[in-house]
Structures are given as C-alpha cells and as structure tokens.
Structure 1
Amino acid sequence: MGILNLTPDSFSDGGRFVDPAVAIAHATEMVAQGADVIDVGAESTRPYGGMQPVTAEIERGRLEPVLPAVVGLGKPVSIDTMKASVADWAIRQGAAIANDVWGLQRDPEMARVVADHGVPVIVMHNRAEADPAIDIVDDMLRYFERSLAIADSAGMRRNQIVIDPGIGFGKTPEQSVIAVAQLARLNGFGLPILIGLSRKRFISSIVPSEPAARLGGSIAGHLLAVQQGAVIVRTHDVFETMQALRVAEAIGRAR
C-alpha cells in the first residue's frame, strides 16, 4: 500500500503533493514500483500532534482534482479519512476501501457508510493520548473488540474488516516497539492485519534520524511484522519495501 498525502502538514512529506499534477504523478510512480493499493489522505493524522484539523469541504476540495485520476490508474484506492461524509463521497468516486484511523469509534456514521457500500474497512487502533503505564497490546485487543461490536451492529461482514495496530498513534515510542514485537497476538481475531510504521518517530527513538532518513528502520520493522502475520504493508517507500519483502520471501522459500 503506497501512501499519497495531499496535505501541507503530514509528518513525513507534508506539502510535497499538494499540487494535483505532482500527486497524480507520484501515485503513477508508486503503481509502477509495485504498489497494489494507493492510500489517499487529505487531512493530516500525524500521530504525535501538530496537525491542523480541516472541514469536510476542505478535505473534499483537496481530493476532487486527484482522486478520480488515481482511481483511473486501475489499482484499488483506499480513502484515509476520519469523516464518514468524506468516505461516502470518495467511495462514490471509485475508492474501494475506507481507512479509518479511529477504528469506527470517532464518527458514529462511519460504520453505516461502510456497511451501506459493502467495501472493506481498515480499523486502526488509536488513543487520544499515550499512557506509558498501560499494557498497550491489551488495550489494542479491547479496542478492536469494541470496533468489531460496532461493525456487527451496523451489519458489516467480518470479511470486510482489516485491523491495524496504529503504530505511533496514542503510543509512546516504547509501546510502538512492543506493538510490533507482539503483533502476533492480534492473529486471534482471524482478520487480515495491516502494518504501517513507515518513517515513524519510534525509529528515531532507537537511532536518531529525520523522517526521510528512516528507510532502514521502516523496512526492518515491516519485515518483522510480516513474519508475525501482517499481510498489508503501508509505506512511503514502495520500491524499496517491495524489494525487501520479495527478497525475504525468496530466501524463506529457499530454506
């Protein structure tokens, strides 16, 4: 899953793709590099503060000149939004997946929109703020149970749902490490797992680095997550991540 941020304030590449032509060219490049899905977001959800909330109208305004062209590239497009109204609009424009960083628990209409359209949804673990005192994996397990109960109430099918541990979101850097280390505990839900730790801050807590210099840490984390059951990898660096995954897979087969 390649990341396309149409925002001026995303933590890693904010402002790079606010020009629609540049954004469409980047999506085209990611598809050529091997992306199976393009995740398009028009409101920053940067996990450690500093983002500027925007209205649904602004979010749609950023998406309108880009989303149809990205859909036209022929790969599934996920709409990364916290707003049910934006998700509904984007799906009507051809987006095939809803990606909700609040796991159906923020906007009360999100589950209904997903159920009505019958599309897959990525349900991400999140917290309003990090609490270093809690067992983060236990918190994730309880959170996903609530999300699944909401999905059931809305009439969603279980095979529509993907879960995402939300690396960096509502977690200390240490808790993000634990979430990756114990990712296999989420396999008990019997649902596909998405992992997205590309360029996240916890990498810098281990080896100090700016976001663009965290490729090595991103790949290491993604490979270890896939070994524990993650089946979708969300990344800024499509070619390098795809290459690492394929090489690791080839070596694994050769064993």
Structure 2
Amino acid sequence: MFEIKSGDKTLSLTSPVVMAIINVTPDSFSDGGQHATVEQACAQIDKVVSEGALIVDIGGESTRPGAEAVSVEEELSRVIPVIEYTAKQHDVWISIDTSKPEVMEKAVAAGAHLINDVRALQEPGAVAMATSLDVPVCLMHMQGQPQNMQDAPQYEDVMQQVTEFLSLRVDYCLAAGMPRENIILDPGFGFGKTLEHNYQLLAKLPELHSLHLPVLIGLSRKSMIGDLLQRDTNERLAGSLAGAMIAAQQGAQILRVHDVKETVDVLKVMSATMASLHQ
C-alpha cells in the first residue's frame, strides 16, 4: 500500500486518486487558452476540487508535441499566483508541472507539495533541487523532447525500455539522496510513442509495478484516444474514461485527467464493484 507525504500532508494511494490538469498556458493541446489567465485558472481549480480532485497539477509551459519553450520568468508569472491562491483557498494537494529547478523551488515555497517533471529531473540542477526540497516527485519517460518527440519514435520493446529508463532515473535520484518514498513513476503516454506503443504500455502496465513505486497515468484526451476513435480533442471523453478505468484496473494509483467529475464517477463504480467481490 502506497502513500505520499509532503510536510504535514499525507495522501493515501490505496485507491486510485484523481489529479486535475490545470494548464495556465495559451497553447496546451486540449485546453490551451481556456485557463490562460490567473482568474480563469483559479476558477477552474475551484470547480475541479468541488468535483473530487485530490491533486491539482498546475503547469505554465505546454509540453504538447511541437511546443515551444518558455522562459523561467514567464513560467513563474503564470503558475505562482495560481499556486498561492490554491494553497490559501483549498485543502488539496498542489503539484507543479515543470522541469526547471528555479520554478520547482519557488513553487514549493508558494505552497506546492509535489513536482511533476516530464523530463524526469534530467535538466541541470533538477535532481539536486528536488532532493533538497524533500517533496514527492513524479519521474516521466519521454523519448526525445516535446519539439521532436513524435517525429519517429522507435522501440524494440516499449514497456521494457520505459521500465529500464525509469529504473535508472530512480537509481540516480536515490544516489543523490532522494528518499525512495518520494518517487512516483509515469510511463509517459504520448511522449515519444506511436499509437501502437501507447496501447502496448496500457496493456502491460502491471510490468511497471516491478519497480514497487506508485504509478501516475496521463492519457486524458490524448492522440492515442483521438487517432484511434477519429475524434477531436473535445470529443474524447468516452475514450479517456475507458483508458482511465483500464489504467486503474491495471494498478495505476494516480490518474491525471481533464474531466474530473466523470473520472471520479467511473472510479466510484469500479470501487463499489470491487468491494462487492469481497463481501
């Protein structure tokens, strides 16, 4: 049974929990521009917390395929006011979606409890910063960078290579002094993977549990849903919910989603069904 701790906050991961996506960006693939102002982002946080999100993942730089990098100053100007508002208004876990050590430091100082890094702390100084902050960190697998990751991703065995990469990153973080209980893993759906790779990852998700660490899954509204179903981003709810339920059944502890209320409903139905098996 897993749990994560940050300061005086503890979150049990005995049952899957929902992490809400809050992109304070003009160019994210699904909701870019919808929450681009601080006011819009704060209103969305009010909404998803009321719908049952236990974690809000606040990001100020898009990592969609082809996304352009933003400066530290720009990223901070987007996320810090939203983190401060959330910390003041809600008793919820706050995640900062960033790869920059400077943003990690200021975000945690503003009230963030968790670092979610698509680059698995590979930026210069990131491991040292995350270790010094002593908060949980999610390490994600990505082949390439957002600018080029979908050009021609190739694997001999996608789950084996993703697991090997994450295992090496875990070892690196442990060697730097990070406590093992602070580490969460994300196989990185859509980050340098073809449609086939993504569904192989979902089917083989239990193999990632060989590392004995909590697993975070983010496939909400992604191209693995849209390309399979031939649906635009605003028509991918059913596919996203199916993916979330499969991931939960495969043992994922954290589901990173756009549609919080609907995902919470799915998990409640699944939980009630599983509970009935043991009566």
Q: Which runs of 4+ in 1 moved over 4 A?
A: none
| Counterpart pick for 2:96 among 74, 79, 82 | 79
1:215–1:237: 8 Å Cα contact kept in structure 2?
A: yes
In the alignment, residue 99 of structure 2 is paired with which amino acid?
A: M
Deviation at 1:153, TM superposition (A): 2.0
Is 1:143 paired with 2:161? Answer: no
| Counterpart pick for 2:121 among 104, 129, 144 | 104
Matches within 5 A, 1:4-23: 4-23=22-41
1:59 aligns with: 75
In the alignment, residue 136 of structure 2 is paired with which amino acid?
A: P
Please tell me the root mean square deviation across aligned C-alpha atoms, in Å: 1.1
1:57, 1:133 → 2: CA distance?
36
2:54–2:93: 8 Å Cα contact kept in structure 1?
A: yes
1:118 aligns with: 134
2:155–2:161: 8 Å Cα contact kept in structure 1?
A: no
1:74, 1:254 → 2: CA distance?
31
| Percentage of pairs with the same residue | 40
2:43 aligns with: 25
Deviation at 1:154, TM superposition (A): 1.4
1:116, 1:68 → 2: CA distance?
21
2:112 aligns with: 95
| Counterpart pick for 1:240 among 243, 247, 262 | 262
Q: Secondary structure at 1:233's aligned position in 2? A: strand
In the alignment, residue 55 of structure 2 is paired with which amino acid?
A: V
1:122–1:161: 8 Å Cα contact kept in structure 2?
A: yes
2:186 aligns with: 164
2:216 aligns with: 194
2:178, 2:155 → 1: CA distance?
34
1:202, 1:27 → 2: CA distance?
26
Deviation at 1:245, TM superposition (A): 0.7
Q: Secondary structure at 2:163's aligned position in 1? A: helix
In the alignment, residue 24 of structure 1 is paired with which amino acid?
A: C
2:57 aligns with: 39
2:205–2:247: 8 Å Cα contact kept in structure 1?
A: yes
Deviation at 1:65, TM superposition (A): 2.6
1:168–1:176: 8 Å Cα contact kept in structure 2?
A: yes
1:252, 1:4 → 2: CA distance?
30
In the alignment, residue 161 of structure 2 is paired with which amino acid?
A: D
Deviation at 1:137, TM superposition (A): 0.7
1:69 aligns with: 85
Question: What TM-score does the superposition give when structure 1 sets the normalisation length?
Answer: 0.96
For structure 2, the 5+ residue unaligned runs are: 1-18
Q: Secondary structure at 1:65's aligned position in 2? A: helix
Deviation at 1:133, TM superposition (A): 4.4
1:71, 1:125 → 2: CA distance?
29
Q: Secondary structure at 1:122's aligned position in 2? A: strand
Number of residue equivalences: 252
In the alignment, residue 84 of structure 2 is paired with which amino acid?
A: P
2:10 aligns with: none
2:52, 2:222 → 1: CA distance?
22
Deviation at 1:152, TM superposition (A): 1.3
CA deviation map 1:126-161 (0-9, x unaligned): 110342343111110111122112201210011000
1:74, 1:113 → 2: CA distance?
25
2:15 aligns with: none
Worse-matched range after superposition: 175-184 or 121-130: 121-130
Which structure is richer in relative contact order (CA contacts within 8 A, separation 6 or more)? 2
2:14 aligns with: none
1:104–1:150: 8 Å Cα contact kept in structure 2?
A: no
